Amino acid sequence: MNKTININLAGVFFHIDEDAFIKLDKYLKAIETYLAKEESKDEILQDIEARIAELFTESMAHKNQVVNSIQVNDMIAIMGEPEAYKIDDEEEPTSNSSKFRPSRKLYRDIDRNYIGGVSAGLNYYLGLNTFLIRLIWVASAFFSFGATVAIYIILWIVIPAANTTSQKLDMQGEPVNLTNIEKKVKESYSKFADKVGGIDYDKYGQQTKSGLTRFFDGLGDVLKAIGVFISKFLGVILLIISSLVLVGLLIFLFSFGTISVFELGDFNKMELFSLGIPYWIQVILFFLTAAIPFFYLLILSLKLLFSNLKSIGKISHITLMGIWILCVIVITTLGIKKQLEVSYDGEVVEVSALNIATTDTLRVKMNPNLMFDENINQRRQQKIVKDDTNSSKLYSSNVYVNFRTSNDDELKVRVTKKGFGSSENLARERASLIEYDYKLENSVLKLDNYFLTTPEFAKQKVKVEITVYIPEQQIIYLDKNLMDFSRIRNFKRSDYNTYLGYEENIWKPLDSIYKNKSIN
Amino acid sequence: MKIENTKAQMRKGVLEYCILSVLSHDDAYVAEILETLKSAKLLVVEGTIYPLLTRLKNAKLLSYRWEESTGGPPRKYYGLTDEGKEFLSELSETWLELNYAVTKITSKNKTNDE
């Protein structure tokens, strides 16, 4: 009794004895090794399979006859030994490689496909359950909002379908996993050890040269196996990194892209990266610039892992490269344009004299507005607030206070509003949009610790500088809340909230002045 | 140097020329081409021809069409392209020159030997 196997040769169905099948399989595998360097290997194999099918059909007495070893032998006699298929004689394949059963290759299984046969192919390759693989695809697509579908499509494109019988056999070959890679390394190592060990007892009289050659041959095998292991390992890491980044980028594309299309949410935080174009275009630009290199990284990692992948085609390469270069150019140009827009500074200055008797003590303090912000003692705060008329304003505490002595015995306040722009005029125009206030009440100079302006200036170079010119004979009292807004030469923390007088070109606490005077 | 290799190389060089010649009369499918070549004892086993045909096809010297066959799988019918015809006529010339040269040299050697 003999077990039979069903096979499909070039679309024709055959029952074949198990031993005859093994012989046929070996034969086709051997031919494939001989044709390994041939450009249209698959096509040639298909032609050969078609001819074999024809020979089997001719030799069969009736339709349901089983193909046996004799028929396979007859076929080989007609077709010739595998060596006959080789056209060029540059190098004979070594006896090892013809016996060597090629390790499992990744193909798409188009006989068991739901969509592209990717999962069924991975099932053979990884030895994982097909249902589990499909479940992982569906679940990951669900959790990544469909982003992993892109990865599936890439795999669909680059993994070839298993068309010929030999490709189908390759697809089902030895699984590629750590144990098998380890086995390969061990096998080649023991071969190496045999060769090296052979020097000692095998052929004593042989020249050392041949021993050395064998040593390096063996060493080469081991290094090759280690190299394969390293490249696969690198491939796995690159595959994980690139696919995770791609999925992340796709999620970024879908979430930010759609939100900004419908103008939901507050995008003030993104203002910094704004290129002055609609957000959704900008999101797509950033996405493509980042995603295309990672797409290539993904392809590279797949190529490292699977030797039999198809190319995505010259046109796709050129298109992708073109798109990427275009995106980089657009982003750079817009970035430079944006930079030029803020390259000029412009300022608006207002000076006014205030009335105060020289006998009065001048108190100076910052005047916070709790309506807008509670961090009243901090500079460089920026946020969008609503003003009295309920319109949006940019609130900024980028205010700086300077103290100088007045040269004409008058208390004066100089307010400098600074703006930005692509020209000095524009910068000045923008500076004039800054609203800043201060007032003198009962000898107390109250300086607002903030200014308001239009929300478009968020994260831009807008600020207010105040210089207070104080008459020399005035006694002053600086409030502690000035500390963060002004830096005064030779001033200590204890000099705030203290009465100060002017002497020897600096403001000093009164008690130290009196002390000096009493000494004199 | 192995005698088998030299023999095979000689035969393979001529084989392309012969395949094109066979197809110059009429389109044919592989088994028909094989029959002609085998009857002339140029080819012993069939295997060699498949890679050759595909190469000639890739070089655009041959083209093929599918035709259904009774019982077996569909067959590829090969025919010469215009390029193939040109290629063949050039090969014919070269062959005649070679043939003349080889006959002349080998026959001279023979007479010298005698």
ipTM, two decimals: 0.82
Average of per-residue pLDDT values in chain A? 79
| Interchain contact, A51 vs B45, CB within 8 Å | no
Does any CB of chain B come closer than 8 Å to the CB of residue A202?
Answer: no
Query: Is the pLDDT score of A359 beyond 60?
Result: yes
If asked whether residues A297 and A408 sit together in one domain, one would say no
pTM above 0.80, yes or no: no
The tens digit of pLDDT for each residue in A229-248 reads 888 888 889 999 998 898 88
Q: Which residues of A touch B74 (CB under 8 A)?
A: 11, 50
Contacts of A61 in chain B (CB under 8 A): none
Residue of A nearest to B48 (CA): A85
pLDDT at position A181: 60
Give percent of chain A above pLDDT 70.
Answer: 82
**A108 DSSP assignment:** B
Q: What is the mean pLDDT of chain B?
A: 82
The reply to whether A116 and A259 lie within a common domain is: no
Check whether residue A255 and residue A375 sit in a common domain.
no
Whether A224 maps to a domain, the answer reads no
Contacts of A82 in chain B (CB under 8 A): 47
Is B46's CB within 8 Å of A78's CB?
Answer: yes
A48: closest CA of chain B, how far (Å) = 7
- According to DSSP, the residues that pair with B65 across neighbouring strands are B77
**A44 interface with B at CB cutoff 8 Å:** yes
pLDDT-derived band of residue A390, with 50, 70 and 90 as boundaries?
confident
B interface test, pick of A27, A51, A57 with most B CB neighbours within 10 Å: A51
Q: How many domains does chain A have?
A: 4
Q: Is the pLDDT of residue A517 over 80?
A: no
For residues A360 and A507, membership in a common domain is answered with: yes
Chain B positions touching A11 (Cβ under 8 A) are: 73-74
| Contact assignment for A54 to B50 by CB distance below 8 Å | no
User: Residue A329 — very low, low, confident or very high, per pLDDT cuts 50/70/90?
Assistant: very high
* Residue A182 resides in a domain: no
Residue A465, φ and ψ in degrees, nearest 5: -120, 130
Determine the pLDDT at residue B112.
Answer: 55
Q: Quick check: A268 pLDDT over 60?
A: no
Tell me what pLDDT residue B45 has: 78
| Mean pLDDT within A143-169 | 80
Q: How far is A126 from chain B (nearest CA, A)?
A: 33
Q: Are A45 and A9 in contact (CB under 8 A)?
A: no
What is the pLDDT, as a whole number, of residue A116? 83
Q: Which is higher by pLDDT, B54 or A84?
A: B54
pLDDT of residue A174: 56
Least confident range of A156-160, A272-276, A367-371, B51-55:
A272-276
A60 touches chain B (CB under 8 A): no
pLDDT score for A34 = 79
Measured between CB atoms, does A58 come within 8 Å of chain B? yes
Is A114 inside any structural domain? yes
Q: Indicate if A364 and A418 belong to the same structural domain.
A: yes
pLDDT given at position A162: 82
Do A410 and A511 belong to one domain?
yes
Distance from CA of B54 to the nearest CA of A (A): 6
pLDDT at residue A183 in the model: 64
pLDDT over 60 (residue A92): no
Q: Please state the domain count of chain B.
A: 1
From the list A12, A44, A57, the residue facing B50 with the nearest CB is: A44
CB pairs under 8 A between A and B: 73
- Is A218 inside a domain boundary? no
**CB-based contact (8 Å) between A106 and chain B?**
no
Q: Quick check: is A123 in a domain?
A: yes
Whether A328 is covered by a domain: the verdict is yes
Q: Write out chain A residues lying below 8 Å of B31, CB-based.
A: 51, 54
Asked if A36 has any chain B CB less than 8 Å from its own CB, the reply is: no
Q: Is it the case that residue A99 has pLDDT exceeding 70? A: no
For the segment A12-29, the average pLDDT, to the nearest whole number, is 87
Distances (CA, A) of A47 to A27, A79, B59, B79: 15, 12, 17, 16
Mean of pLDDT values over B58-73:
82
pLDDT surpasses 70 at A159: yes
Complete DSSP assignment for A392-455: EEEEE--EEEEEEE-SSS-EEEEEEEEEEESSHHHHHHHHTT-B--EEEETTEEEEES-EEE-G
Q: Is some CB atom of chain B closer than 8 A to the CB atom of A65?
A: no
Residues paired with B78 in a beta bridge? B28, B64
- ∠ CA(A163), CA(A166), CA(A171), 5° rounding? 75
Q: Are residues A86 and A146 in the same domain?
A: no
Q: How far is A205 from chain B (nearest CA, A)?
A: 28
For residues A499 and A353, membership in a common domain is answered with: yes
3-state SS record for A171-229: HCCCCCCHHHHHHHHHHHHHHHHHHHHHHHHCCCCCCHHHHHHHHHHHHHHHHHHHHHH
pLDDT band at B49 (very low <50, low <70, confident <90, very high): confident
- Indicate whether A255 pLDDT > 50: yes
Residue A84 at interface with chain B, using a CB cutoff of 8 Å: yes
CATH number of the domain bearing residue B27: 1.10.10.10
The answer on A331 and A359 residing in a single domain is no
B76·A47 Cβ contact <8 A: yes
CA distances from A244 to A140, A312, A396, A412 (A): 11, 21, 40, 62
Q: Are residues A363 and A397 in the same domain?
A: yes
pLDDT at A22 over 50: yes
Are A136 and A270 in a shared domain? no
Listed residue (A172, A69, A68) closest to A120, CA to CA: A172
pLDDT at A267 over 50: no
- A80 has a chain B CB within 8 A of its CB: yes
Among the partner residues B30, B51, B71, nearest to A87 by beta-carbon distance: B51
Q: Which domain holds residue A462?
A: 346-519
Residues in B closer than 8 angstroms to A86, CB to CB, are 51
Assess if residue A252 is contained within a domain. Answer: yes
Q: Token pair of B56, please?
A: 């000639």
The pLDDT assigned to A516 comes to 65
SS (H, E, C) A439-503: EEECCEEEEECCEEECHHHCCCCCEEEEEEEECCCCEEEECHHHCCCECCCCCCHHHCCCEEEEE
Any CB–CB contact under 8 A between A385 and chain B?
no
Q: A507 and A411: one domain?
A: yes
Q: Which residues of B touch A81 (CB under 8 A)?
A: 45, 47
Closest Cβ–Cβ partner in B50, B71, B74 for A85: B50
Higher-confidence residue of A189 and A500: namely: A500
Tell me the per-residue pLDDT of A207-232, one tens digit each, with 9 for 90 and over.
455 666 767 777 887 888 888 888 88
Q: Which of A48, A75, A93 is the last residue of a domain?
A: A93
Does the pLDDT of residue B1 top 90, yes or no? no
Q: Is the pLDDT of residue A91 over 50?
A: no
Is residue A83 domain-resident?
Answer: yes
What tens digit of pLDDT does each residue of A270-327 get?
Answer: 444 566 677 778 888 888 999 999 999 998 898 888 877 877 888 888 999 999 999 9
The SS3 call for residue B78 is: strand
Q: Does B3 touch chain A (CB under 8 A)?
A: no
pLDDT of residue A297: 92
